[in-house]
Chain A
Amino acid sequence: AQSVTQLGSHVSVSEGALVLLRCNYSSSVPPYLFWYVQYPNQGLQLLLKYTSAATLVKGINDFEAEFKKSETSFHLTKPSAHMSDAAEYFCAVSRMGANFGNEKLTFGTGTRLTIIP
């Protein structure tokens, strides 16, 4: 069984400040991990993914996340928040496999990021 826990359903940061969104996972098998962003009335967009190649993963829009097996964490960070980053962010886990596009995702409950001007 797999699950993810996102700590903090709402996070507010000032424009230009560091963004840190927390995700911890539980998996009985080696996981693949993902961060998705969802803007209002839009579908989910993949920010980045961990598929075992490197523990520090860089994604779009200067987001990055680090896989820490010892802490079972995959926190999302961005050095400097921009107003356009305001959205809902979801961490997700799937089983590790050759074709990860065939694997179902288990999502966390999401973190709503608000940017303060």
Chain B
Amino acid sequence: GAGVSQSPRYKVAKRGQDVALRCDPISGHVSLFWYQQALGQGPEFLTYFQNEAQLDKSGLPSDRFFAERPEGSVSTLKIQRTQQEDSAVYLCASSLGTSKAFFGQGTRLTVV
């Protein structure tokens, strides 16, 4: 596609509900990143994939957060038993590896 696409753009979840956020990277991009951006803050790294391999998940804040990229293209970030502190914008970025990363518009998650 023309750019990194994320869906849904907005998600409201009740506390305790599970959510799944989708990222469609630019076609052919091997590297994929997830970042979490809390209100008024800069993005913070969550996890990194190279193709289907999750090479770094050091930024995932708890075991309620899980990400996958089974075929090395689309990625899903899943949050189980959402809490209010999970409210943030979740950004996905992809790159060829040798060049800059392109960011999607993000998914704004609000936990009520």
- Among residues of B, the one whose C-beta sits closest to the C-beta of A110 is B42
Contact A44 B31 (CB under 8 A): no
A residues near B56, Cβ cutoff 8 Å: 104
B-to-A contact residues, CB < 8 Å:
4, 31, 33, 35, 40-45, 48, 50, 56, 59, 91, 93, 95-106
Contact A101 B42 (CB under 8 A): no
Cross-interface CB contact of B45 among A41, A106, A108, A110, cutoff 8 Å? A106
- By secondary structure, the A interface counts as mixed
Contact A43 B31 (CB under 8 A): no
A-to-B contact residues, CB < 8 Å:
36, 41-46, 49, 90, 92, 98-102, 104-110
- Among residues of B, the one whose C-beta sits closest to the C-beta of A49 is B100
Q: Given A41-B105, A104-B48, A110-B42, does the pair A46, B31 have CB atoms closer than 8 Å?
A: no
